[in-house]
Structure 1
Amino acid sequence: MSTDIQSSPAERATPYSKDAITHFIYRYGLLVVLALMIVVFSIAHPFFGTFANAMFILQASAIVAVVGLGCTISMTVGGFDLAVGATMSLVVMVAAGAMVIYGFSGPVAILLGLAAGLLAGLLNAMLIVYARIPDLVATLAAQFLVSGTTLLAVNGQSISEGMSLGTTSATGTFAPIFKWLGSGYVFGVHSSVIVAGLVFLAVFALLNLTKWGRIFYAIGGNPVAAAAVGIPVRRYRIIAYLLSGLLSAVAGLLLVARSNRGDVSVGDAYLLQAVSAALVGYAVLGANRANAFGTLIGAVFVATLINGLTMFNFPYYAQTFVQGLLLGVALLMSYTLGPKSKR
């Protein structure tokens, strides 16, 4: 008498089954695409694969990674910070004005810039947590408020060394520490890359190795359940937006150090790239949630793509479309290929 024993789905799966292939794409698809992009660009253009160009790509992705990591923290609590670009512009103008117009030292300018970022983060937190305005609407309003404040404070003018101040000229200069942040190297690695690396390690440790990180994710997953077990949800959401503002300030300081001038809307261009990096990070290693490592890979991915397209004279006006296509593919991998339990 024979008995027909049915195998489980896991036993029936093979390395080449549909489920196995889908799982592989879900977890490693974006990394495979990044690797293929690097190989193809390197073969087509020898300079692309050089150490010098690799450092250029990392330098280009450093600011995006820092502000993207700020967005990532706000996403872990179920929020979304659209004011990061405006915050960067505010910090750029505060730091540049402190040194050029008022003659403050570099450390004082850095502290003032960080304080400006924290104030912008606090504004977001007050609108969201206490006024109970939805995150997207609140941070959009904060974006206009911060941008408007910046424009009013400087009458829409840029700040540069020797600029005209009515009947006189500005006598202040950019401090040496800013010049180092903008053009310094340590063992061949650009200073902004070092700062971005340190910020990544700090955020990764915060979200993955501390109680704060677990609480952030718990709030983002189910704020009602988190409050029911005694977690002070409001307090942690405020902290998340403060950290987002602080990292936007760090990115703004790196930006003003790179350009050695203050432009009122210079941070606006980084909003799309930062959000793209953070959302692309959802598809890295099947995380399906905001995470520091995914955001870092997302920033490098975007910078690599733009670098390659620029090197091959791809029209600049079409690069935004390619970034949008990339984001769409990443989200498809994350939300359509992921396990149903995570959707």
Structure 2
Amino acid sequence: MSTSNTDTAKKHGTGFDFFDFMYKYGTLILIVLLVIFFAVMNQNFLQTSNLINILRSISIVTIIGVGITLSLSVDGFDLSVGSVASLANAVVISMFVWYQQPTFIAIGAGLMAALAVGALNAFMIVKVRIPDLLMTLATMFIIQGVALTYTRGATISENMIMSDGTYAEGQISPFFEKLGQIPWIIIIMFVAVIVVHIFLTYTKHGRYMYVIGGNKEAARLSGIPVNKYKVLAYLLSAIFAAIGGMVLASRVMTAEINAGGPYLMDAVAAAFIGFAVLGAGKPNAIGTFVGAVLIGILANGLVMMSVPYYAMDIVKGTVLALALALTYYKLK
């Protein structure tokens, strides 16, 4: 009798499904468990200053991650975002230091450079039909080379020595400097998440992108301009990568070689972890933010526990693999 009732409950969707529960709430539960663990191991973990530090540390990852989320929404994948962030980082600082340009021209130049990369990706993927992953992988290396050539392999900073032996006279504007400071860096992150969430969830354009990601041929037969929205996705992905790169430039006040590269894998992981948050089953901005929070808490906690840097990637990778395994077990 009890077996029959259980079967009937499952049939009508009233039984408890452990894997479905973990799929929806596993990431959030893992975050809570990590917070409790790190708080027990180090009493300073839950201090307000440290929590703000975690939010600051995930800001750039989240901004770049929501760009990846947009490309994933049309069943694409933009691996070039790290290089685009590096390029925008170099361009915006060089506009200040080398060419003494005002803030909005410097920021505009960084965005235009990123849009050029996004347009290249979109053209080669949509028109030439190169697979997304392969094209953006190629673009990643191309843009790395372009950024290195542009900076001549040097770090761009105020008062740097130029090739002719003189010192750079340009100064980074105080307004731009504030963008990488608390609270503005955190505000920019939240604005990016909210804007992308509203765009994907509540506008017809976002819904069209989800339809394309779910079934491209069905979208085309429904009259949705698939190519147009794929182009839009890659342009938006490049824009958010550029914003992340410029926020990074504001935070460190220099343009380092391949500055955006280290953010690529964390941003990718955050976007993919986001699939499972609250059972979304698709790329979404809120999920990407939660994925970034998981990564940020893990990294911060390991540092506070004085885990050697060469072992951190093992722990970090294991936890991320478990989270992704939960996501894809359900998706299959």
Q: TM-score, normalised by structure 1?
A: 0.92
Alignment partners' CA distance in 2, 1:305 and 1:26: 20
Q: Kindly indicate whether the alpha-carbon contact (under 8 Å) linking 1:76 and 1:217 is maintained by their aligned counterparts in 2.
A: yes
Tell me if 1:193 matches 2:186: yes
User: Which residue of the partner structure matches residue 113 of structure 2?
Assistant: 116
User: Which residue of the partner structure matches residue 149 of structure 1?
Assistant: 146
Q: Kindly indicate whether the alpha-carbon contact (under 8 Å) linking 1:252 and 1:267 is maintained by their aligned counterparts in 2.
A: yes
Q: Kindly indicate whether the alpha-carbon contact (under 8 Å) linking 1:106 and 1:176 is maintained by their aligned counterparts in 2.
A: no
Distance 1:10-1:50 versus aligned 2 partners, 3 A rule: farther
Distance 1:58-1:142 versus aligned 2 partners, 3 A rule: same
Q: Kindly indicate whether the alpha-carbon contact (under 8 Å) linking 2:41 and 2:305 is maintained by their aligned counterparts in 1.
A: no
Q: Kindly indicate whether the alpha-carbon contact (under 8 Å) linking 1:282 and 1:331 is maintained by their aligned counterparts in 2.
A: no
Tell me if 1:232 matches 2:225: yes
Q: Kindly indicate whether the alpha-carbon contact (under 8 Å) linking 2:100 and 2:169 is maintained by their aligned counterparts in 1.
A: yes
Q: Kindly indicate whether the alpha-carbon contact (under 8 Å) linking 1:288 and 1:335 is maintained by their aligned counterparts in 2.
A: no
Name the aligned partner's letter for residue 229 of structure 2: Y
User: Which residue of the partner structure matches residue 313 of structure 1?
Assistant: 306
Name the aligned partner's letter for residue 189 of structure 2: A
SS of the residue 1:137 aligns to: helix
Q: Which runs of 5+ in 1 are unaligned?
A: 1-5
Tell me if 1:250 matches 2:243: yes
**318, 323, 326: which is aligned to 1:330?**
323
Name the aligned partner's letter for residue 23 of structure 1: D
Which aligned pairs between 1:1-343 and structure 2 lie closer than 5 A?
Answer: 7=5, 9=7, 11=9, 19-165=16-162, 166-183=164-181, 185=182, 190-336=183-329, 338=330, 343=332
> In the TM superposition, what whole-angstrom CA distance separates every residue of 1:50-89 from its partner, at most 9, and x where no partner exists?
1110000000000000000000000010010000000000
Alignment partners' CA distance in 2, 1:73 and 1:21: 30
Alignment partners' CA distance in 2, 1:54 and 1:280: 21
C-alpha RMSD over aligned residues: 2.0
> In the TM superposition, what whole-angstrom CA distance separates every residue of 1:83-124 from its partner, at most 9, and x where no partner exists?
000000000100000000000011211111111111111111
Q: Which runs of 5+ in 2 are unaligned?
A: none
Name the aligned partner's letter for residue 181 of structure 1: L
Alignment partners' CA distance in 2, 1:15 and 1:210: 31
For residue 255 of structure 1, report the CA deviation from its aligned partner. Answer: 0.2
For residue 16 of structure 1, report the CA deviation from its aligned partner. Answer: 11
Q: Which moves more between the two structures, 320-329 or 281-290? A: 320-329
Q: Kindly indicate whether the alpha-carbon contact (under 8 Å) linking 1:90 and 1:264 is maintained by their aligned counterparts in 2.
A: no
Alignment partners' CA distance in 1, 2:49 and 2:11: 45
SS of the residue 2:154 aligns to: coil
Alignment partners' CA distance in 2, 1:61 and 1:265: 18
Alignment partners' CA distance in 1, 2:122 and 2:12: 49
For residue 25 of structure 1, report the CA deviation from its aligned partner. Answer: 1.1
Q: Kindly indicate whether the alpha-carbon contact (under 8 Å) linking 1:14 and 1:20 is maintained by their aligned counterparts in 2.
A: no
For residue 323 of structure 1, report the CA deviation from its aligned partner. Answer: 2.8
Q: TM-score, normalised by structure 2?
A: 0.95
Alignment partners' CA distance in 1, 2:314 and 2:252: 27
Name the aligned partner's letter for residue 21 of structure 1: F
SS of the residue 2:110 aligns to: helix
Q: Kindly indicate whether the alpha-carbon contact (under 8 Å) linking 1:71 and 1:278 is maintained by their aligned counterparts in 2.
A: yes
Name the aligned partner's letter for residue 250 of structure 1: I
Aligned residues with identical type, % of pairs: 39
> In the TM superposition, what whole-angstrom CA distance separates every residue of 1:132-173 from its partner, at most 9, and x where no partner exists?
100110001111111111111221111011111113110001
Distance 1:15-1:130 versus aligned 2 partners, 3 A rule: closer
Alignment partners' CA distance in 2, 1:129 and 1:321: 38
